[in-house]
Structure 1
Amino acid sequence: MASKQSEDLARGKWFRGFFEDVDPDNDEDGLTEQRLEQWRPLWQNPFADPDNGLSGSDHSPAFAANVDVDNEKALEHTGAAQQQASPSQESLAPKPIKALVIHDGPTWVNLFYDLAWTATFSTLTQNGNFADAWDTVSYIAFFLVVWWLWASQTLYSIHFYTNDWFHLLSIFVQLIIFGLLAATTRGYDVTAYILRSPGVDILDPKTMDEMFDPDRYQKDRIASYSMRVIAFSLAASRAVHWSQHLFVWSYARRTAEQLKISVPLKLRVLPVGLAISNGLFWAAAVVTFSDKGKTVSGAKLKFIFWAAGLISEVLLHGLMEHLKWHDSNSGAFNGSTDSKETLQESVPPQPELHQVPSSSQSSQPAPVQRKQIWPVPRSNVNLRDRLEGITTVILGEGINGIAGTFYAAIAAPELDEPVYANIACAAIIVYFLAYFYFEGPTGRRDPKGSSIRGMMWLMLHLPFMLAIMLLLLGVKNQFLLTSYLSTMTKTFGKFGDVMSVENLTLGDEDSAKNMRLKNFLLKRGMNWGDEFRELNKRVTNNGSFLLDDVSDEHFEETVDVWYQQITLKFMVKLYEAFMGGNKAIDSDTEATLQQYYQPNSTLALDDLNGVLDANYLCHYERIINKLLESNLLGARYITGLAAFIFISLGIMNRVHSKPRVGDHPYAYFYGYLPALSSST
């Protein structure tokens, strides 16, 4: 009996209040407040106060206007004037009120969203060949599209994000969309079905039923599926974004009915306008899924729909940011609104006061008539924080790409001084990119001015971030190129020294087992015994005659050809080690290599005899140029991209905030100084 009572007491102690409501007054450790915040509703009115449940009609019906941060001095001056006024004047002057509705949301959602978004182009960044200019164009086009997915969601979250399940689930759906995009970028090519067919270098309008080449069939199938998934993912993303603005518009209509005013035009632009862009994106998806998507006209039409949809969305968002939180039906309204600044309300003009005859009545002034205002929603999402976060993530993605090359450098047989210099230079570039951005003139300061200025500052981050990614890709290619060339040069020097020192004799089995040469070639993925026996077969014509009967001319020519071939094998093996295996070599170059390796190769003999092509290159040099083409291309534009980053920073600094009244005349010049210095 006693044990049962003790069990009941323990159960009551540990499960006390399990079926009771949370007591907000008993919150010594903050746990109650945390549970109340986590108990989010299914959906929530962005125009209602989440703390006390006020609807739009619960706001004070006073007239108020939101002003820019540039007008803070005017507000302070007005407040000081009111303090010096007489008591009767103070009672007559309407006081500024707060007309903001602030919604807090979990910060981990934004970070998780950024990381998932980065995955959309990380596969393309890590696995992209960038062998020609069209590969770079493909990367730029894809980055532009997925960047706008992030930017449009950020603009929405700044204004309308509420801590409810509707927004959490909408973010979750977008994470799935990002996963689909990340999984299908390997087959993405902007020139597919327009300039060339997948798997071939020409435009060959064959259907999959007409193909017999397994390699081309596989590449065509991957490219087709990739384009279809990308088209569907983009259309689905735009549908989710449209549903978010329709959600806001529905609550705006309810709030307008309660306030007995019209919905601001600012809130009607995107719900109506996004219907157009959604139609364009879904039209592109329909074309891609149809048989017409593999034709030249269909492939072009798809990109036209995407471009028109993106341009329309950018213009619609710009119009939305330009409009005020009021219209003619909601009363006079002065000042502009920046929903992410610390918004303040200006003092409205004093209403007209009618003279009264009685002094007693004059001591009791009539109440000031105030007009209804629209509650301005605002979340805890900060534009500067979001941009700083995504810039950090992009820098991290670039670091990840560069760090992936370290394994190739470590696995290389000879580490030369340029490899260590490349590592140091890459670290300096990444560090100072971050330093110039975060510690620049506008570092740690929110943009001041109208909302459209903030959006312009946001849009200018697109070329800046794209230039960062392309620059770091160029640094990666430059790192691989210089490491490869330095390792190759050192390999050739050592191989020549070893061959001159060792006493080698054809037909001697001990020479075929030479330990020094065996280890030297093993480090480079080759077998010295096989190469030496191959030389012996060529000299003796597969043993058809003795070594003593071999002419000096035939011996020297055979050894020279063999030496050229084995050094080319060195270069190819090192290329595979640095650039990611034999998959990095295209089929045409591979065929040329196999032709060059033949015992009686005319290509090697032409090089030996000094036969050059129209560009004064031998076959050996043309093969090397073909292998290093993408790396040489990246090395060419790396300087231009570095300059473009500083140009973007200078323009961003200028657009960030309007120079204040009384600033030095050279304030404009200082904003553009990074751009001028880099262009020079």
Structure 2
Amino acid sequence: MSTRKQSSLFLHINTSPNPDANPTLWEHRLRQRRPLSRNPFEPESTYSRGSYGLTARESPPGTPTRRQSSKYEDDGKLGYNVADEKIMPERTFSSTKNLDLEWGDQVPGWLNLFFDLAWTATFSSLTSNAKFKEPWDSVSYIAFFTTAWWLWVSQVFYNVEFYTDDWFHLVFIFLQLLLFGALAATTQGFDITNYILHSPGSDNLETYDIETITPERYAAERLAKISVRVIMLAISISRAMLLIQHLRVAIYAKLTSKSKKYPLRLFIVPASLVVSATLFFVAFRVTMSGYGRTPAGSKVKMALWGVALLVEMVAHIVRFQMEIDEGINAIAGTFFAIEKAPGFSGPTATGIVCCGGIVFFLAYLYFNGAAPLKSVRRHIAWVMMHLPWLLSVILLLEGVKNQLLLQSYMSSNEYMINKIADSMAADVPMDQFNATMRPIMLQGGMSYNDEYATLMRMVETNMSATTTNVTDEQYASITTEITGVWYLRVQMKGTLNTYITYMDNDSIPDTTQEKIQKYLSDYKYTLEDFHTALATQSEIPHFAEAVGELVSPSLNNARYIMAVCGATFITLASLNLIQSWPRDRFQWASIISRYIMGLIMILLLLLNVGKVQGFVEAASAPESHIAGYLKWVDSGWVLPTLALSYLVQFIVDTTLVYLAVWYSRKSFQPVGQDDRR
């Protein structure tokens, strides 16, 4: 009678490890049993041996490992097991003939995920805190983005070449996570123009005086000071940590090398890190001093920052010559503003559809290039090319968001102005007038009761000073003026509230705030607009000037958004070209068509040509004198033009794919077909 072995939870509580019975568990433990530090030039399998003399499962014959494919010059050696000899530093930088050869993953996936999430958190925090209302806002964004991107990329470059699964690298990557966390927490106070063009919390350069400074400016000064210090310190420490990792590699290379010829390329990046770390620490010392809060000190600090990054980038380029949706989150936030605002119209709906199309086609064109996405020997150049690609995409999406906001604001504002004007012009009983105005004012963020009370106070104040010995005609004229001023102020409040619905209140310059406040409080100032409107039947200069200043940043955005769109096409084509050399005319056609589309979009910069460049001046200027971009914005064709460019490229790429498949099938002749004939 056979006995069946009973399974029990505690069956193996006293069982000794058996690699033969549980090879998978054994291999897993071998991977977990990492040393303190491991020589990157030693074959990995020599560290996978345990007391049983067993090794981790080898790759199938003829399947090159990552080290094999990247370290050997002769393609015939790819089938040779790397465990059979040390990887000499002299061979580390030898080139391979097939630059399209795939590389395998090196850093564990979970570790890469954490590192990428840390950089993404910094990038997301930066994007959510960015304003993009003025050209200098974009400069600040690019400066911080480039820095954070380079911190990530330079570490990835190191990992691709020299990462080993040991405690040394785990600790250092953990410290890198902390540094990225510090950067993510300080993006809100970062402004490259602080102390250069203006003081924090002010539009102008002002002297820091603790006795006269306002609480708002003090808070802004403190935030800016802490942010830039933390940023500089975090970057400095990051450079020092990467330098330590590279020096460790250089030491191992010296210990491993059996040749008198030492690979000097191993010293290029560490030397640049010595320079950049020194410059960043000097910049940090400048920020800690009072000199760092002066225009000259701030310029020195930024110059040190830029030179340090440039030195590192050039060093990486020289070395490797010798040997890629937060903006989407911003657009999604715009949809919420559109939902709250009055006057949802056809152009707004068209803009939303175009935004969705732009985002979709950007993703499609990136992931469906002329060649399949895979890791290649040109991985370094491919990663480097993601800097202009990511920058152009983020700037494009921010520009798209601003154009959608502008288009929606102008549509909602026109709706509010027309509704209030129609209600005021209607000859209806007072009860019907009240019933009509209440919901309209509520849509514009105003209370009808409060505005009516304001009108009564204006009548009481102005009538008491001017109604002595006046005729009925004069009395009616004064009443008309008071009502006209009240009407213009209601329109201004509606315009301002609609603007704040879409844009951040902080985006309104102080000078514009002062003009709006004067319009709402200075009776004579508003009365000038009323008299001008009566004389010209259309113009209200003070009102138009304030509105023009409100929309000016978004209008300026329309000046260059076509160039940013063109940059996405050009960088996409360059990424495709780096990813894989074209193998046939269809692959070439896809890449060339992207370059051509990029150049066409850049040529739209010619829309900036025109005598009249301002929003206010365009209202009374001849149409032939108005700059093309103003007509472009006014017609609502900015977003449709961008979306159509990506749609056309999508159609071109899809057509080329179908043509390539058709020609391939047409020219394919099955084996033995001639024999059957």
TM interval, shorter chain, is 0.7 to 0.9
The alpha carbon displacement at 1:213 in A equals 2.5
**C-alpha contact (below 8 Å) 2:529/2:543 kept by paired residues:** no
1:216-270 CA-to-partner distances (Å, cap 9, x unmatched) read 22222222222111111111111121122122223223323xx466542232333
The alpha carbon displacement at 1:668 in A equals 6.9
* 1:487 maps to 2:412: yes
* Aligned counterpart in structure 1 of residue 384 of structure 2, from 459, 462, 476: 459
1:300-349 CA-to-partner distances (Å, cap 9, x unmatched) read 2212222221122112222332345xxxxxxxxxxxxxxxxxxxxxxxxx
Flag structure 2 segments of 5+ consecutive residues without an equivalent.
1-6, 50-66, 88-103, 601-677
Using structure 1 for the length normalisation, give the TM-score.
0.73
* Aligned counterpart in structure 1 of residue 457 of structure 2, from 531, 537, 555: 537
Using structure 2 for the length normalisation, give the TM-score.
0.74
Aligned ranges for residues 487-636 of structure 1 at < 5 Å?
Answer: 487-501=412-426, 503-505=428-430, 514-541=434-461, 544=464, 551-580=475-504, 582-598=505-521, 600-606=523-529, 608-610=531-533, 618-636=541-559
Cα 1:121–1:502 change in 2 (3 A) is: farther
* 1:230 maps to 2:235: no
- The structure, 1 or 2, with the larger RCO (C-alpha pairs under 8 Å, 6+ apart) is 1
Cα 1:447–1:417 change in 2 (3 A) is: same
**C-alpha contact (below 8 Å) 2:392/2:564 kept by paired residues:** yes
Question: What amino acid does structure 2 have at the position aligned with 1:572?
Answer: L
1:348-387 CA-to-partner distances (Å, cap 9, x unmatched) read xxxxxxxxxxxxxxxxxxxxxxxxxxxxxxxxxxxxxxxx
Aligned ranges for residues 101-112 of structure 1 at < 5 Å?
Answer: 104-112=106-114
Question: What amino acid does structure 2 have at the position aligned with 1:403?
Answer: A
**C-alpha contact (below 8 Å) 2:444/2:497 kept by paired residues:** yes
Aligned equivalents of 1:617 and 1:148: distance in 2? Answer: 51
* Aligned counterpart in structure 1 of residue 13 of structure 2, from 12, 15, 21: 15
Aligned equivalents of 1:548 and 1:540: distance in 2? Answer: 18
Q: How many aligned residue pairs are there?
A: 552
Aligned equivalents of 1:112 and 1:248: distance in 2? Answer: 23
Rg: which structure is higher?
A: 1
What secondary structure sits across from 2:380 in the alignment?
helix
**C-alpha contact (below 8 Å) 1:539/1:554 kept by paired residues:** no
Aligned equivalents of 2:482 and 2:299: distance in 1? Answer: 54
Partner of 1:24: 19
Aligned ranges for residues 134-283 of structure 1 at < 5 Å?
Answer: 134-204=136-206, 206-209=207-210, 211-256=212-257, 259=258, 263-283=262-282
Q: Which has the higher helix share?
A: 2
Aligned equivalents of 1:478 and 1:528: distance in 2? Answer: 32
* Aligned counterpart in structure 2 of residue 650 of structure 1, from 546, 549, 573: 573
**C-alpha contact (below 8 Å) 1:103/1:162 kept by paired residues:** no
Aligned equivalents of 2:41 and 2:548: distance in 1? Answer: 63
Cα 1:208–1:35 change in 2 (3 A) is: farther
Aligned equivalents of 1:524 and 1:184: distance in 2? Answer: 36
The alpha carbon displacement at 1:188 in A equals 1.4
Cα 1:13–1:445 change in 2 (3 A) is: closer
The alpha carbon displacement at 1:574 in A equals 1.0
The alpha carbon displacement at 1:132 in A equals 2.0
Partner of 2:97: none
Cα 1:31–1:548 change in 2 (3 A) is: farther
Higher mean Cα deviation, 523-532 or 231-240?
523-532
> Over the residues paired in the alignment, what is the CA RMSD in angstroms?
3.5
* Aligned counterpart in structure 2 of residue 639 of structure 1, from 556, 559, 562: 562
Partner of 1:311: 310
Partner of 2:402: 477
Aligned equivalents of 2:506 and 2:520: distance in 1? Answer: 19
Partner of 2:365: 436
Cα 1:261–1:478 change in 2 (3 A) is: same
Aligned equivalents of 1:648 and 1:272: distance in 2? Answer: 30
The alpha carbon displacement at 1:403 in A equals 0.8
1:614-637 CA-to-partner distances (Å, cap 9, x unmatched) read xx9811111112212222222222
* Aligned counterpart in structure 1 of residue 45 of structure 2, from 31, 46, 51: 51
Cα 1:260–1:584 change in 2 (3 A) is: closer
Question: What amino acid does structure 1 have at the position aligned with 2:118?
Answer: A
Higher mean Cα deviation, 150-159 or 194-203?
194-203
* 1:676 maps to 2:600: no
**C-alpha contact (below 8 Å) 1:208/1:220 kept by paired residues:** no
Cα 1:421–1:548 change in 2 (3 A) is: farther
1:436-473 CA-to-partner distances (Å, cap 9, x unmatched) read 1111113324445xxxx543333222111101000000
The alpha carbon displacement at 1:161 in A equals 1.5
What secondary structure sits across from 1:202 in the alignment?
coil
What secondary structure sits across from 2:269 in the alignment?
helix
Higher mean Cα deviation, 641-650 or 467-476?
641-650
What secondary structure sits across from 1:197 in the alignment?
coil
* 1:416 maps to 2:350: no
The alpha carbon displacement at 1:408 in A equals 0.9
Aligned equivalents of 2:238 and 2:534: distance in 1? Answer: 58
The alpha carbon displacement at 1:103 in A equals 8.0
The alpha carbon displacement at 1:431 in A equals 0.9
